[in-house]
Amino acid sequence: MNFNLYNNCMNYKKNISTNIKMLRLSQNMSQAELANNLNLSKAAISLYELGERTPSTDTIIEISRLFNVEPGVLFSDHKDKKSTKLISVDGLSNAEINAIATIINNLKKK
């Protein structure tokens, strides 16, 4: 296997594990609660967060739906950004979410 390809695979695995934990903690959710929401065992969530197991495509989609993020967020490497914060938009309409996104983008331009 090509060394760069191997490193990229390992980075994605680490990103997924880090991002699952970050999303879970951003909602003050325990591993047991996440497992219950996904119909998985707490052990499976622990293995995902430790990077010892990679979730299936279906599980990645379910996690992204649960946290209302695009599936690609789970693969993202946030270390190059100054800070990454996640906020819950549960209960907001698409218009309200778009308004918040516009405000954030305007603030970033300043």
pTM of the model: 0.65
pLDDT at 102: 80
pLDDT at 2: 46
Residue 41 has pLDDT above 50, yes or no: yes
pLDDT at 10: 55
Burial zone of 24 (CB within 10 Å; 0-12 exposed, 13-18 middle, 19+ buried): buried
Residue 56 has pLDDT above 90, yes or no: yes
Cβ(42)–Cβ(105) below 8 Å: no
pLDDT at 40: 97
